[in-house]
Structure 1
Amino acid sequence: LYTRLLQAQRYDKARFEAELREQEKLEQFELSLASSSFMTQADLQRFQQLSEQSRDFSYALVQISPDSIEVSDQEVDDYYKENEVQFQTPEQVRLAYIEVAEETLFDQIRVDEDEALSIYQEQPERFMTSELRKARHVLIRVPEQAAGNPAEWDRARERATEYIRQLEAGTSFEKIARLYSQDTLSAGKGGDIGFIAPGDLASDTLERVLFRLDVEEYSRPIRTDQGFQIVQLVEVQEPEQQPFAEVRENIVNERKGKLAQTRFIEIADELANLVVEQPDDLTEAAETFGLEIQETGWLTSSSTTGIFADSRVRLTAFTPEILEEGLNSELMEIADGRVLAFRVLEHKVPELKAREDVAGQIHERLRARKASTQAVEAGEEMYAQLQSGIGLQELADKNALKQVRLGALHRDDDRVPDKIMNLAFTAARPEAGGVSVGGVALDDGSYALLELHSVTDAPDALDETAALQLSQRVNYGRREFSAVLQSIKEEFDVRIFENNL
């Protein structure tokens, strides 16, 4: 089955296993780097000081409205001629395709009553209920916030050991649970947690111990994520044969699933050959398996609906052998249990749009560009005045700009555009009674003028708990791995095919 599945996906065994080995090596490399990386206390303290630092600054935006900008017809003509590639219609295709889905085959398969009953009678052990074990427990909880403190675990273990001594001295398990268990849901019921089936408990260790106990026997203290637990077996409910009526549907669906999977692999294997043997037509392949030849609407390389939701289909549809030679694609798996092959019905090459159809778009683009240029020029002139000692408030009043001051902000405050925030946190610390100034062009075409009033540093103290939390927040191991990848990209010629991700 393993080999046939690989063949259906056009994989040979050696290539598939080699790719798995390479992936495993990469994961091991990433894990080893991430788990062995660390930050010193001094680094963490410096990071805290920077990340928790706040800055009080004012800024004003120099903006020019595009509506106030004039653009001539000649400028539009020149831009149109110089940028024709921007005004072409996208390349488009319309496809015919055939598809096989395991889910569809599942719906077509019929399993009768006699076959289902035969499976039930031949494999009775598969249709037994799980063994259930009724239990009580005592929980000595270790608070989540103290989970990293060994002393807390030692205290919890000592308490659990004391309860074991009381049990050995004759105190009932139910009484111990009522008096001492920190599981508020079960303590009032003497620790009763009801019947437990395999897989019910969050702790595998606790479950293994429970299913080895004899009735009335209790365990030694068991360490779990919650703390220490003591468990007692109260009653065992043996497995029972499930009635056929209760499992009939499951038997039928399981049988249909196996038959559908087998049939899917058979069809996919044969279909993969047919679309190659009849390379310029899907008719024979469709008729052989009773498939419908479906058609798409017009699609571009940026379409992501229908079968173009799969990036490989999008890429393949625009390759020369498919577009120019009119060949069928190879059989492609686009999801688990779903394969298809396609060919191009119609192809539209890019065409230059008429000037009159894009003139309005060009006008808007040129107006925005001119407005941005004028805003930056005006902003840079005002920035020079800031540097000469004129205050931001005076400049704002003189040029009808709106000054914004939100008080002391941390660097992650999202009320301020990123470029302004970056400018504010890279500006020099102002001297007492003075300000630092800056200016930067923004992505929206405006220009920001900035005045930094003061810098408030974070406290130097960093205790052990805070250091641990900060280390987790920094995720230094992941940053180290990202840095390694970046250095590889810089040192070697690395190409990333984004459409294949």
Structure 2
Amino acid sequence: MLQSMRDNLKGTAAIIVAALFGFIMVIGGINFFSGASGGAADKVAEVNGEKITNLDLQRAIQNRRNMIMNQFGDQAPADLLTDEKLREPVLQQLVTSSVMRQAAQDSGMVMSPAAVDREIVQIPGFQVDGKFDPQLYRDGLRRLGYSAAGFRQTMERDLVLQQYADSVTDSAFTTRAAADKVVAMSMEERDFDYALLPVNGLLDEVSVSDSEVQDYYDKHQDDFQRPEQVAIEYIDLKPSLFAKNIDISEEDVRAQFEQEKSSFQAKTRRHAAHILIEGDDQKKIAEVQSKLAAGEDFAQLAKTYSDDLGSRDEGGDLGFTAGDVFPEAFEKALAGLKVGEVSGPVTTDAGTHFIKLLEVEDSKAPTFEERKAEIKEQLQNAEAEREFVGALSRLADLAYNADSLSGPAEELGVPVQTTGLFSREGGAGIAANDKVVAAAFSPEVMLDGNTSDVLNLSSDEAVVLRVTQHKDSGTYPLEEVREKIVTRLKRDKASAQLAVKAQALQKQLEDGGDFAELAKEQGLTLETSDNTRRGGFGERGEIIEHAFAMASPASGGSTFGTFATDEGNQVVLKLRAVRPGDLSRQSSEQRAALLQQLATMDGRAELAAVQKYLTDEAKIEFSSSK
């Protein structure tokens, strides 16, 4: 049910958010974010009286942006990440989510607490070695800004929405007759023989005149259109350019280590466990307190009474804290305990806690050898960063009005790099960056010959560029495409010559000639293809496609055809038999899988229809800024 979320969840807050977002998008909505802001922001839409706020929309847009970044990384197209580009589809998804959730509520669908818990503990991002890890769970919720109760409520809401979607898709079915039709076409088999007459053997015998080349060029101008192109030179500043030339002495490393050592403060880490009672259940609180006072086992009581699913199965174990992990009241109570002691009731926003101190651990200062390599790298990176910042501050002045970037590069001690020609669609390397392409094709850089502004590609990379070559859009000159035209014309001529030979061979076959003997006489290789199904790649795929386009032969007869492949080779084909796919010939497992696959396709179509119906029937109002 939550497979999309499970597959993508990796343990960090950003990935958790993106994974949850991706799960909701599978069923057409973004319920994870809906309702999170209450009335804290202006309304952007209203669905049957339920508000979608601007904060809901902005959260959804940001997380859709995170999903794109996770998918494409640094290659993510900049125009896909803008609010303007994302706003419309994300808002529509919020609306779809809202109508679906309302339909689920109207249907009386609910999700049991146990089912919600089962889904949470199976999320890989909360697991270590395949086992649910309470500390990862708590850390993840803190990063997301959720309490355990709030996260469970969100999960329950989304699972109900998925349950409603499943109730539509799982009810779909397909008939045996429909499956028979699909199998008859998709699993059809054909038997055929063919001989290929290769064009390459004739190319050297074919000549093409200048007038033929000119005539082809004149008649196929659309084939030789060239987009506007530029080539650039550029300076690409990164701290790494400077780091490789920075030498850090051992004296500097030791001095930094001694400074760290003098400021090192040993931290006391306390290992805590708790029993959490959510809400204000005074009866339950009193019962737990009484059993603790009677000396009953803390871990067993946690498993029985605690509302913190992240720790209860571990006997309430919360891991270590240095005084900055839990709420202030919790940390204060923990600090006042001796090892093995249990606190009285402690109240925080999460509920009422009974806290046990399991152990105390004091940290030790690392040795010089343990810190040496890391300190050296830190000092080297810090110095490189300073040089990078200094170079960056000088780059714009040095490059301004420069006729070439070689002078500024020499001044900064960095290389000048160049690209080949590329269009507005971008090119390889730095030319794949949208900011670089936009700057290169800006009028002041491309037409006026100015150096670009400094382009901050990231927090630690900046580029300045100049256009070194500019070609307007238009038609490639004949000389640039002459070789391509000559090759094309030679292939066409050779293929036309082969077509005569191929048609003659086909006529002999139609007159009853033996394909194998005729092929041998003409020095051709006869290929046999039995039990062939649709599909294939390259020239083989072309041949199969033509075989399946031919008319079925009469019983006991054959059908013949001649055609040219994209390479100009001629093919003579003899189609001997056609057998429609037969569902009954499939194994029971294959039949069941096919029926399930068809039902799934029908279910998806039905779900889309339900979503459209609910949306069409809903009263939806958008703000004027939509």
Q: Measure the CA separation in 2 of the matches of 1:315 and 1:392.
A: 61
Match of 1:61 in 2: 196
Structure 1 residue 58: deviation in Å? 0.8
Match of 2:367 in 1: 244
Match of 2:541 in 1: 418
Structure 1 residue 328: deviation in Å? 1.8
Of 77, 88, 97, 2:234 maps to 97
1:300 is paired with a residue whose SS is coil
More divergent stretch after superposition (245-254 vs 83-92)? 83-92
CA contact (8 A) 1:331 1:341 kept: yes
**What is the percent sequence identity of the aligned residues?**
24
2:317 is paired with a residue whose SS is coil
Match of 1:449 in 2: 572
Render the CA deviation track for 1:200-258: whole Å, top value 9, x for unaligned. Answer: xxxx98998499399xxxxxxxxxxxxxxxxxxxx999685362332453356457667
Q: Does 1:404 align with 2:527?
A: yes
Count of aligned pairs between the two proteins: 371
Match of 2:421 in 1: 300
Unaligned 5+ residue runs, structure 2? 1-73, 98-161, 272-308, 320-357, 610-626
Of 359, 363, 368, 2:491 maps to 368
Counterpart of 2:573, as a letter, is: L
CA contact (8 A) 2:457 2:463 kept: yes
1:405 is paired with a residue whose SS is strand
Q: Does 1:327 align with 2:455?
A: no
CA contact (8 A) 1:92 1:298 kept: no
Counterpart of 1:60, as a letter, is: A
Of 437, 442, 460, 1:337 maps to 460
CA gap of 1:264–1:324, structure 2 versus 1, over 3 A, is same
CA contact (8 A) 1:97 1:293 kept: no
Q: Measure the CA separation in 2 of the matches of 1:76 and 1:306.
A: 36
Match of 1:180 in 2: none
Structure 1 residue 370: deviation in Å? 1.2
CA contact (8 A) 1:88 1:353 kept: no
CA contact (8 A) 2:401 2:451 kept: yes
Counterpart of 1:212, as a letter, is: D
Counterpart of 1:434, as a letter, is: G
More divergent stretch after superposition (430-439 vs 468-477)? 468-477
Alignment of 1:71-86 (within 5 A): 71-76=208-213, 78-79=215-216
Q: Measure the CA separation in 1 of the matches of 2:318 and 2:577.
A: 68
Structure 1 residue 391: deviation in Å? 6.9
Counterpart of 1:453, as a letter, is: R
Match of 2:440 in 1: 317
Q: Measure the CA separation in 2 of the matches of 1:261 and 1:46.
A: 67
CA gap of 1:389–1:354, structure 2 versus 1, over 3 A, is closer
Q: Measure the CA separation in 2 of the matches of 1:116 and 1:472.
A: 64
Counterpart of 1:75, as a letter, is: E
Q: Does 1:212 align with 2:323?
A: no
CA contact (8 A) 1:326 1:343 kept: yes
Structure 1 residue 265: deviation in Å? 7.5
Structure 1 residue 332: deviation in Å? 3.4
CA contact (8 A) 1:392 1:450 kept: no
More divergent stretch after superposition (466-475 vs 399-408)? 466-475
Unaligned 5+ residue runs, structure 1? 1-8, 132-203, 215-234, 485-501
Counterpart of 1:280, as a letter, is: N
CA contact (8 A) 1:372 1:445 kept: yes
Q: Measure the CA separation in 2 of the matches of 1:127 and 1:378.
A: 91
Match of 1:149 in 2: none
Which structure has more relative contact order (CA 8 Å, sep 6+)? It is 1
Q: Measure the CA separation in 1 of the matches of 2:193 and 2:218.
A: 44
Q: Measure the CA separation in 2 of the matches of 1:90 and 1:17.
A: 29
CA contact (8 A) 1:88 1:352 kept: yes
Match of 1:222 in 2: none
CA contact (8 A) 2:179 2:583 kept: no
Q: Measure the CA separation in 1 of the matches of 2:93 and 2:501.
A: 53
Match of 1:232 in 2: none
CA gap of 1:91–1:382, structure 2 versus 1, over 3 A, is same
Structure 1 residue 443: deviation in Å? 0.5
Q: Measure the CA separation in 2 of the matches of 1:120 and 1:381.
A: 93
Structure 1 residue 116: deviation in Å? 4.7
Structure 1 residue 342: deviation in Å? 0.5
Q: Measure the CA separation in 1 of the matches of 2:428 and 2:489.
A: 33
1:368 is paired with a residue whose SS is helix
Q: CA RMSD in A?
A: 6.1
CA contact (8 A) 1:55 1:452 kept: yes
Q: Measure the CA separation in 2 of the matches of 1:470 and 1:238.
A: 61
Q: Measure the CA separation in 2 of the matches of 1:39 and 1:290.
A: 73
Alignment of 1:457-476 (within 5 A): 457=581, 459-460=583-584, 461=586, 463=588, 467-468=592-593
Structure 1 residue 101: deviation in Å? 0.7
Q: Measure the CA separation in 2 of the matches of 1:120 and 1:20.
A: 50
More divergent stretch after superposition (289-298 vs 438-447)? 289-298
Counterpart of 1:328, as a letter, is: T
1:103 is paired with a residue whose SS is helix
Q: Measure the CA separation in 1 of the matches of 2:224 and 2:87.
A: 47
Structure 1 residue 422: deviation in Å? 1.6
Structure 1 residue 465: deviation in Å? 7.8
CA gap of 1:293–1:252, structure 2 versus 1, over 3 A, is closer
1:417 is paired with a residue whose SS is helix
CA gap of 1:382–1:318, structure 2 versus 1, over 3 A, is farther
1:445 is paired with a residue whose SS is coil
CA gap of 1:393–1:94, structure 2 versus 1, over 3 A, is closer
Counterpart of 1:441, as a letter, is: A
Q: Does 1:440 align with 2:563?
A: yes
Structure 1 residue 317: deviation in Å? 3.5
TM-score if structure 1 supplies the norm length? Answer: 0.51
CA contact (8 A) 1:45 1:462 kept: no
More divergent stretch after superposition (47-56 vs 434-443)? 47-56
CA contact (8 A) 1:58 1:403 kept: yes
Q: Measure the CA separation in 2 of the matches of 1:56 and 1:397.
A: 21
Counterpart of 1:100, as a letter, is: L
More divergent stretch after superposition (463-472 vs 299-308)? 463-472
